[in-house]
Amino acid sequence: MQEDLNQKISQFLDNELNFEEALVLLEEINRKPELKAQLLRYEAIGNTFRNEAFIPASPDFTSRISQQIMQEPVYLLPKQQRVIKPKRIDKSAYKMFALAASIAFVTVLSLRQDKLPETAPVFQTAGLQVAEKEPVKSPPQPPKANVNQRFNDYLQAHNNSVYTNGEAQFQPYARVAAFGRE
Mind listing the pLDDT tens digit for each residue in 18-75?
898 899 988 998 888 888 888 888 887 887 777 766 666 677 887 888 888 888 887 7
Q: Is 43 exposed, middle or buried (0-12, 13-18, 19+ CB in 10 A)?
A: middle
- The share of the chain scoring above pLDDT 70, in percent, equals 65
Q: What is the pTM of this model?
A: 0.30
**SS3 label, residue 125:** coil
Please say whether the beta carbons of 21 and 8 come within 8 A.
yes
What confidence score (pLDDT) does residue 123 get? 54
pLDDT tens-digit readout, 122-149: 555 555 566 677 777 777 765 566 667 7
Residue 182: count of CB within 10 angstroms of its CB: 4
C-alpha separations of 101 from 90, 96, 106, 113, 136 in Å: 17, 8, 9, 18, 51
Question: Helices then strands (H, E): number in the chain?
Answer: 8, 0
Nearest CA-CA partner of 164 in 147, 148, 181: 148
